[in-house]
């Protein structure tokens, strides 16, 4: 496993521990069983899903084309 892969795995593990701990309870209590959401950063995207009452965090791969398209659409986003 490369150092980048190790870093991403460490980040996913940290999110998992946080969401399954007392501080993440508020987030998990608002999710229904099987429901999920994603967190996207510049270099990776994490998918968080509630399974058996616990957060399961997975790293999602995506192509550079999708990233470019989403960045372009976000530049048109307006905050109200």
Render pLDDT for 40-66 as a digit per residue (tens, 0 to 9).
988 789 999 999 999 999 988 754 445
pTM of the predicted model as reported, rounded to 2 decimal places = 0.69
Q: Residues 15, 27: contact at Cβ < 8 Å?
A: no
Domain that holds residue 10: 3-74
Q: Give pLDDT, residue 64.
A: 46
| Domain-embedded: residue 79 | no
User: Strand ranges (DSSP E) for 1-80?
Assistant: 36-40, 45-51, 54-60
- CA 46 to CA 37: how far, in whole Å? 8
**Number of separate helices (H) and strands (E) present in the chain:** 3, 3
66 occurs within a structural domain: yes
Residue 70 inside a domain? The answer is yes
């Amino acid at each position: 496993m490369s150092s980048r892969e190790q870093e991403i795995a460490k980040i996913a593990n940290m999110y998992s521990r946080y969401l399954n701990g007392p501080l993440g309870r508020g987030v998990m209590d608002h999710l229904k069983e099987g429901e999920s959401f994603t967190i996207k950063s510049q270099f990776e995207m994490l998918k968080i899903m509630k399974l058996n009452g616990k957060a399961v965090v997975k790293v999602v791969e995506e192509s550079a084309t999708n990233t470019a398209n989403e960045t372009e659409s976000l530049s048109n986003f307006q905050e109200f």
